[in-house]
Amino acid sequence: MLAHQCYHCKQWVEDGEAHDCWTTTEGALTRDLSDDLRDAWERLRETAAALGDQRIYASHNSIMFSRKSCYFFVRPKRTFLEVCVFLGRRLKAPQVRRALPASKTKVAHLIPIRHRDEVEAPLTDWMQEAYDFSVAPVRAARPVKAATRRPPKKRETVRPTREAARRKR
What residue segments make up the domains of the chain, in order of their start? 22-145
Cα separation, 104 vs 107, whole angstroms: 8
Q: Where are the beta strands (DSSP E) in the chain?
A: 3-5, 12-14, 55-59, 62-66, 70-76, 81-87, 98-101, 107-113
CB of 86 closer than 8 Å to CB of 130: yes
What confidence tier does 8 reach under pLDDT thresholds 50, 70, 90? low
CA-nearest of 108, 80, 114, 79 to 96 is 108
- Across the chain, mean pLDDT equals 83
Prediction pTM value = 0.67
pLDDT at site 7: 65
Q: How many CB atoms lie within 10 A of CB 86?
A: 23
* Tens digit of each residue's pLDDT (9 = 90 or more) over 76-134: 999 999 999 999 999 999 999 999 999 899 999 999 999 999 999 899 999 999 999 98
